[in-house]
Structure 1
Amino acid sequence: MSSKRVLITGGAGFLGSHLCKKILDAGDEVLCVDNFSTGRRAHLVPFQDSPNFEFVRHDVSFPLHVEVDEIYNLACPASPIHYQTDPVQTIKTTVIGAMNMLGLAKRTEAKIMQASTSEIYGDPLVHPQTETYLGNVNPIGLRACYDEGKRCAETLFFDYYRQHQVKIKVARIFNTYGPHMHPDDGRVVSNFIVQALRGEQITIYGNGNQTRCFCYVSDLIDGFVRLMSTNVDVTGPFNLGNPVEITMIELAENILKLTGSKSKLVFMPLPQDDPKQRRPNIDKARDGLDWEPKVPLREGLKETIAYFKTLL
């Protein structure tokens, strides 16, 4: 069986770099596209000598003319700090970028997967969240550039599917963590680990009782590949995340134990539109993809802490 040529937009980012490795390890070719707005060159060093790896510096808000068999559209800043820095560019990346990649998929007849997000559910009024839940999103808030951008991208994907028969896949990603996270991305896992390792105060927003569910990166990437390998009539969306729920205080206490840090917890006001709880219902992924997370939080945190120690 001949190898596939796989385009990964945002391939130098946290998730993209892990996906590059997964695809290369399977013997396929990778065309990695990134503009380094949040991606890092260092993530690509392990692949640069591989004959199956090619890198193109490119912004997906402009068209791309290449020949590929599959497209994973991951390009977009994913942490609030990064996507709120230039909200207009965030919308361009999510919406115009999606349209450009869909146009490419239409021309090349490639399968295309959209890395969507649990943020499309907003601050949910239904718990846990199923794929049929339509969400509770503030369209004019500080997070809307990302939330509504991703919602519009999903609309485009399904319109291209209905109108042009493009072979789409949509994954809704819940909180994911692991090596290659950016130390200054403002996400809770990286924040807590970096603060603990530096002996700084652990910053908890709100009262600390708000919940999240954390999926280790290798589990998520396995979900991506399983979704891409499905038949063309399997479009999603699929929730991909770990359904084990934990409060922010519990997460902080776990990280303090694993790092041996003496840092103290401090509480700050909750940011605007920050969800109070988030937990995926993954029944659809279990049934349709034979997928569920395998890595326990404690083991994943150990690996992530070890990675951040090498950075700090």
Structure 2
Amino acid sequence: MLAVLVAARVLPSGRSPRAAGQALDAPGAALVTAAIAAAVLGLSVVAERPTGWAGWAMLVGAALLLVVFARHERRTARPLLPGHLVAQRGVRGGNLTAVALTACTSPAMLTVVRYVQEQLRLPPARASLLFPAFNVAVVAGALAGPRLLPRLGTRTLLLMGFAAVTAETVLLLTLPDRGLRLATLLGSFALMGGGLGVASLASTAAGTADVAADDQGVAAGLLASSAQLGTAVGVAVVTPLVAGAATGGYRLGFLAATVMAVAGVAASLIAPGKRVGEVSDAARRRDPRAGAPSAPSCAPRSAAERRR
């Protein structure tokens, strides 16, 4: 309620000419939502029963729904996802890295929770004392990101972040079946948290830097959706692997997270390598007002929101 009252007082009430009278693309929203739901459910079923037909049928249905969605978006007057936005390299790189980042970190942390409670038999209250270290590392990475981004550029910062996350998942693979290696666990939390913080900021910068002012809302929403999709896909794939394995099966979860982190390294190469303040000529042609990208000012907030 307090947020509503403050927003009503401080936020501007006017709308841009483009937003005025713009209707929601309800058919497009329904198609893409159904496609994502079918894909996540299908991946979960396939991970649990690879030889069954139901999961594969869901994945085929999801692919068909995406094809129908793409055709609809090309024909509608006001598409939910404008084609010129998806065609931008920065948008593609930012969203692919957002998916990969949450797809590797979310299931890795979920597997750690299961490891300390089910494998090490730690009580929930005692196990919970381990995880603030991860949260502190995320905040530290998010705070360091704005200082590193102007010097290193988005691609380098993404590669650094995913390298740290990959090192963390490899480190988790060395955890023993019995006995708590506190230094190993806390060290992995520091690597993953710091990597998540800086990579999340860099993916936000990559996905919004060259976007015209009128498309910033769509680009930000797309990044948030990609991050949520990555979490859903990662958990859907890893949870059946860990739950269906015998003692030591948590290593399957860490191994799957490692594979997703390596995929994130590859996705980082798609992102533009420019530093803050370098706006492409194409962005200036789309929006003469384009200057320095706004991502650094909002990226720490985006990183926190996406992690939640």
TM-score after normalising by structure 1: 0.28
Using the size of structure 2 for normalisation, the TM-score is 0.29
**Greater share of residues in helix:** 2
Between 1 and 2, higher relative CO (CA 8 Å, sep ≥ 6) is seen in 2
Which of 1 and 2 has greater Rg? 2
Which structure: greater strand fraction?
A: 1
